[in-house]
Amino acid sequence: MNRISWDQYFMAQSHLLALRSTCTRLSVGATIVREKRMIAGGYNGSIAGGEHCIDSGCYVIDGHCVRTIHAEMNAILQCAKFGVPTEGAEIYVTHFPCLQCCKAIIQAGIRSVFYSADYKNHAYAIELFRQAGVKVHQVEHSETKHDGEKDELLNDLLSRIKELVDDESEMDELKRRADRVMHSS
Ligand SMILES: [Zn+2]
Ligand SMILES: [Zn+2]
């Protein structure tokens, strides 16, 4: 029997939460864990009761969507709301945290960050984690790996088809459809 590790288990939970994201720019999920128990979770989304990017489009200022609260921040704020200590906790995030979330994680007393995908890993965030003694680990997520393999296969197939199909618009349409199916989550 193939038993998944705790790291894979909590990371899977974060990937599941990411599917709840309401911002179309990036689906992120975060799970806060203490003593092998999930104490909070969050995803990239609007304030409770607010408009969603998926309904109204993103509210972009200087290249960032300002409508959403990041997954890590939402998870930490859930702890604040219900009075759950985050001191000494661990956080599992689908993507490497941005600088703002990095600071919030450190300040919340979280001691370890597990992330799945690299995402614009900011040099200052890496430095701040190091200074604060927060351990950062990359956890391979089986689905992420699987997606990579699917993408690779798809690209191989598409380039082979391209050799056979003359019609460019037909080829573009195929690519669009493939993209939609492969990245529908
Ligand atoms: Zn958005
Ligand atoms: Zn962030």
pLDDT tens sequence across 78-87: 999 999 999 9
Q: Per the domain annotation, does 121 fall within a domain?
A: yes
What are the strands, taking DSSP E only, across the chain? 29-34, 37-43, 60-61, 64-65, 90-95, 112-117, 135-138
d(CA 24, CA 152): 23
Reported as a pLDDT band with limits 50, 70 and 90, residue 169 is confident
Output the pTM of the full model: 0.77
Ligand 2 centre distance from Cα of residue 150 (Å): 28
Same domain, 105 and 22: yes
d(CA 14, CA 60): 25
Same domain, 49 and 74: yes
Same domain, 162 and 134: no
Same domain, 157 and 99: no
Ligand 1 centre distance from Cα of residue 120 (Å): 18
Same domain, 118 and 155: no
Ligand 2 centre distance from Cα of residue 84 (Å): 21
Q: Per the domain annotation, does 97 fall within a domain?
A: yes
d(CA 127, CA 55): 37
Same domain, 28 and 115: yes
Ligand 2 centre distance from Cα of residue 101 (Å): 4
Catalytic residue among 35, 51, 72, 173: 72
**87 among known catalytic residues:** no
Range of the domain at 83: 6-138
Same domain, 132 and 173: no
Q: What's the pLDDT score for residue 185?
A: 45
Q: Per the domain annotation, does 143 fall within a domain?
A: no
